Every structure is written in C-alpha cells, then in structure tokens.
Structure 1
Amino acid sequence: MAGIRGIVDGPGFVALPNTLWDAAQHPTPSGPHWQQGVTWTDWCGGADTTYADECIAVTGTGGAAPAAPPLEPTAAGGVDRGATAFTVFAAFDCSLIGLPDVDQAAEALARSEAFQVSRAFWSGQAGGQATVWPHLAADSALDDPQGIRLQTAADTVLGAADDAAVVVGRLDQALAEQYGGEGVVHVPVAALATLKARSLIRKDDDEPGVLRTPGGHRIVAAAGYSGTGPDGSAPAAGAVWLYATGALFGFRSDVAVRDFPGTFDRATNTIHKMASRTYLFGWECAHLAALMTLGVPA
C-alpha cells in the first residue's frame, strides 16, 4: 500500500549456483507425458578382461599354460529403471495492475524453487508423502508392480564418520569402479567450507561456476540437501552424509499459474494465486553414500 515514502523496485534476486537442475542433463521430451513418470534401461557392469589366444608360451621353470579364455563373456546388466514426477509451488498475492501473471509467478517461485526441488530429491518427500523416486536418502530398493526399479538402496562406502579427504577419495574411487563415467557428488551446503579448506573442490576451467572433485565428478551443493543418512536419520553433530550417483537427467515443465477468484481483495486490488512447476529426475547406475566429518582436523 502506498504511503508517504516513494515506491521503488527492491533488489534483484540472484539464484545460487550449482543447483540440482544445473547438474542434470536435459533431454528433449517428446511431449508432456513424462509428467506421468518415465522408464529407461541402464546398462551397468558386464565388462571384464580376457586374452585372445589360449596357446600362450610360458617361460621359466614350473610354469603352466593358462586355462582357455571364457567362451561367453559376462553380460552387462540391463535394468529397467523408472522415475516419478513431483511439483513445487509458491502462493502469492497478485496485483491485477502491473506485471503479467507469469512474471509475478516466476518471481514468487524463484525464491524457494531450488530449495524445494533439492529437498524432495534428497528425502523422497513431496507434500508430506514418500512419492519422489528415485531419491538420494534411501536404504532399500523399490520396484513397481511391473518390476521396474524405481528406487535403489544407497551403497554405503563409509558408514562411520571420516575425514573429508578419505570420504571424497572413496566416493571418487567407487564411482570409477561402479560407473566409469562422469558422476555427480551431492553435498550439503554445510560441507562446502570443509571441502574447500581441504582443497577437495576445484573449479572447472571449461565450465565457469562448475565445481568438481579431484576425480573429475561434478559437485552439486543444493540448498535443500539436509545431510541425513540412507535410513532418513540425522547424523551426529559435526557430520553430514554425502551421496554420489551416475549421470543425472531431468525434465521440468513451464511455470503454471492458477488463481482463486474467491480471494479477490478490493482494498488492495489483489487476488490470491499459485505458481507451480513439475520436475522429474533420474540417474544412471551408481548410488553411493558416505558419512563425512565437518571441520578441518588439527
């Protein structure tokens, strides 16, 4: 409401970097049907070594010729994976004079959207219900009635709190062994200072603003990452859980605006509205967890 002081524009909102959406690949959807959930096939594992000729000469004394190479190599495990969508929203009072609805809706969502998205992806909770699959903090697998794997159980590589360098090294190693490609390490914001103090974060020279581990995996430090363990429990004071996954992909809708006609306020010439956007995330193969001690050791 206008008063004796002049009306000005407030400061512009600047989103934090390294969000979950930033770290995900964004394939082009064929239509809006992804909002009902998606299915894909992961091809993980199955690689091995062999030799081409069983007639290998063995030099020295006491040597024995090697056994014949395997006739059928181990097959890669094709696993049908699935993911579900969830919606974030923000309610606001919209002036009937001035900015278009979509501009005001985008402004309303911008303040909390990244936090709500990453919190749902970490915990699996949306609207107070466990409906977001897959999510990070999980200690059991879940298949749908068709046998499609919606959720994997995190493979805990370090269950007792350990030094940051040990934790990041173990996650880098496990991603290299289980995935082999560029993965994503999911870090609560509270852990960034510890990782920075130990020189465990490096900036990507080719992608400004992107953070990476010493092993080259991308770091996501999302506002809604709470640091809870695979069973959902909070760690002891001075420790946080980190997770690592294979490559991420994600879809998101345009901002949708819904108004509530019965809320029109004649005194302020505003109406109550809600802005929302739907998201979906999935990842490949690896799903790892490790408990890290915060702070710099003496």
Structure 2
Amino acid sequence: MRTVVEAIPGTPLPHGILRAACTNVEDVTKARIHELNGVEWMALGCCPVQDWPDPCLEESPGDESPGAPRQKEFCRPTVEHAAPITVYAGAECSALGWSFAEARAHAEASLALGEQMALEKAFWRTKLAMEAVDLTPAAGPVSVAQGVAALEGCLAESYGGTGTLHVPVGAAALLGCCDVLSKNPETGGLETLVGNCAVLGAGYSALNTGPGNIPAEPGTAWLYITGPLFVRRGPADTVPTSSGPSINYRTNDRRVLVERTFVVATTCTVCAINVEVCL
C-alpha cells in the first residue's frame, strides 16, 4: 500500500510577468481597492518631443518667399486604460477525505504556483494580441535577432523609453544563444543591449498567437513589445469562507475556490512580429 506524503513543491518561473525584475508589482491596499475594477490615466511619453532649430543658423531663403512661419506642434495626450483580470484555483474532493482547511490550503498553494501563468495567458489574449501592430514582413517570419531589432525600433519610435519584450518560454533559449539577452548583474533581470527588459512567460508559450489571436504556424513564435509594465495585485480571496457552504450534500463533495484580481497596465504602442524558432 502506498504511503501518503507531502505534495512536491514548485516555483514559478523567475522571469515571468510577476517575477521579472522590471515589472512593477504593487499590492493594492483596502483604501485603494476600487482600483481593481480597472484604471485609466493620461498617457505619458507617447507624444513626441520636437526640436526647434536656431533661426540664425537657417539658410537665407534669398529672393524666394519664405512661406508660412514654422509653428510649434502640440500633442493632446490620449487616455489609456487597463481592465481587471481575475485568476482562480479550485479544489474539489470528498468531504470525508478533506477538511475545509486542507482544501483551502491546497487551493491557495495551487494559486500561488499557477497564477503567474494564468495572468500571462489573459494579458496576452486580451491586450497584446488584440492591440498589436504587426511588423512581420510580407516574406514571412524573420530570425529571432531580427525580430527583436524590429520590435525595439518600433518601441523607440513611438515611446523612446525602456520597455518590455514579451517572449514565449519556448523561444527564450534562442535569445540566449544569439546573445540578444543578458542578465543584469545588479537586478538579475534579463535585458537587451538597448536596455529593454524581457518577460519570459509560460502563459505566453501556451498561447503563442499573433494579432487577432491567430495561432502561430508550426516552427514559429510571436514576440511582442510594450512600454513598461505596472501590475496592481489584489488580495487572495477564499470562496466560501467557512466549511458548511463548501459541501455539496447531495454528492458529499467539498469545493473551495481561491481567486485573485490583477490589473496589468502598460503604455503607448504594442508591436508584434513572427519569428522562426528553428536554427
């Protein structure tokens, strides 16, 4: 007869969306709990800063008409927003074999291990794949290094600050072998030569869809880039909160649910490109 032992513990991937060094994760307090319903803000950094040449250095127009005087340009900031994403883990077992405390502990442990992957899948499906500008050339997928270069160029032109690469873990090794990413010795995060950081997501790899959530062709992967990430994280809530309501007396099964709400925000352009994952 087999001996019952403790479950094998696990650790979420170190460079996922909740653990990457460059992701700002903030636990929402009770005083700001309404932020978990979604947030909006005036975009900062998406409007270009223009140069104004010294008129004394401009060439004289001579006899030609100078035309209309040059005007300084003004940019009206756009309002951006981020919607809530709720992830959950549910535990179900016979009420005779599991106490409420055991079921709750199992659901909490499941959430702690899997919430990062679930959040990555939801963010990829609802934000990245729905809003990205597709940079893939007409000739088809490019190499990983070419893809990262194109994405960084797209972000630099629209934002100018450091941002975030979103990479399926199935393509992550190729960024290492091509020296596209290196580890920052101070933060432990993964960065490109330009300084953009990388989130290597198991949830990203599970989906691997392009703009419009169209699945990638075999042998290819989709990479995305955004501005910086700011994640608001709510508390883990247990449903129900006591033993009695957790039992279905017709089947004598116990069900306990643990869920948490996140709001993942980023800014300016989302760019995507299809890359080859075969060397």
What is the TM-score normalised by the length of structure 1? 0.78
The answer to whether the aligner puts 1:253 opposite 2:234 as a matched pair is: yes
* 1:230 aligned partner: 211
**Kept after mapping to 1: 8 A contact 2:89/2:108:** no
1:218 to 197, 219, 222: 197
Mapped partners of 2:211, 2:35: distance in 1: 27
Mapped partners of 1:22, 1:73: distance in 2: 43
Mapped partners of 2:19, 2:68: distance in 1: 45
**Kept after mapping to 2: 8 A contact 1:257/1:275:** yes
Partner AA of 1:88 in structure 2: V
* 1:129 aligned partner: none
Change (3 A) 1:214 1:6: same
**Kept after mapping to 1: 8 A contact 2:36/2:261:** yes
Mapped partners of 1:199, 1:57: distance in 2: 44
* 1:112 aligned partner: 114
Q: Percent identity?
A: 26
Aligned length: 260
The answer to whether the aligner puts 1:13 opposite 2:10 as a matched pair is: yes
Structure 1 unaligned blocks of 5 or more? 125-134, 139-152
* 1:180 aligned partner: 160
Mapped partners of 2:58, 2:111: distance in 1: 70
Mapped partners of 1:243, 1:182: distance in 2: 14
Per-residue CA shift, 1:131-169, capped at 9, x if unaligned?
xxxx1002xxxxxxxxxxxxxx31222242001111111
Shift of 1:46: 2.7
Q: Which has the higher helix share?
A: 2
**Kept after mapping to 2: 8 A contact 1:156/1:290:** yes
Mapped partners of 1:266, 1:235: distance in 2: 43
Secondary structure (helix, strand or coil) at the match of 2:57 reads coil
Structure 2 unaligned blocks of 5 or more? none
**1:69-84 equivalences in 2 (<5 Å):** 72-84=71-83
**1:1-298 equivalences in 2 (<5 Å):** 5-23=2-20, 24-27=23-26, 29=28, 30-43=31-44, 44-52=46-54, 54-56=55-57, 64=61, 72-93=71-92, 95-96=98-99, 101=104, 103-124=105-126, 135-138=127-130, 153-159=131-137, 160-208=140-188, 210-225=189-204, 226-259=207-240, 260-263=245-248, 271-296=254-279
Secondary structure (helix, strand or coil) at the match of 1:46 reads coil
Mapped partners of 1:113, 1:82: distance in 2: 22
Mapped partners of 1:85, 1:27: distance in 2: 14
Per-residue CA shift, 1:217-264, capped at 9, x if unaligned?
111111111221102111221111111000111111111111343336
Secondary structure (helix, strand or coil) at the match of 1:170 reads helix
Secondary structure (helix, strand or coil) at the match of 2:156 reads helix
Shift of 1:42: 0.3
Change (3 A) 1:234 1:64: same
Secondary structure (helix, strand or coil) at the match of 2:34 reads helix
Shift of 1:28: 6.3
Q: Which has the higher contact order (CA 8 A, sep 6+)?
A: 2
Change (3 A) 1:74 1:257: same
Per-residue CA shift, 1:92-128, capped at 9, x if unaligned?
1484376694x4432021232112111111112xxxx
Change (3 A) 1:57 1:31: closer
**Kept after mapping to 1: 8 A contact 2:208/2:222:** yes
Secondary structure (helix, strand or coil) at the match of 2:172 reads helix
**Kept after mapping to 1: 8 A contact 2:38/2:83:** yes
Mapped partners of 2:158, 2:263: distance in 1: 24
Shift of 1:40: 0.5
What is the TM-score normalised by the length of structure 2? 0.82
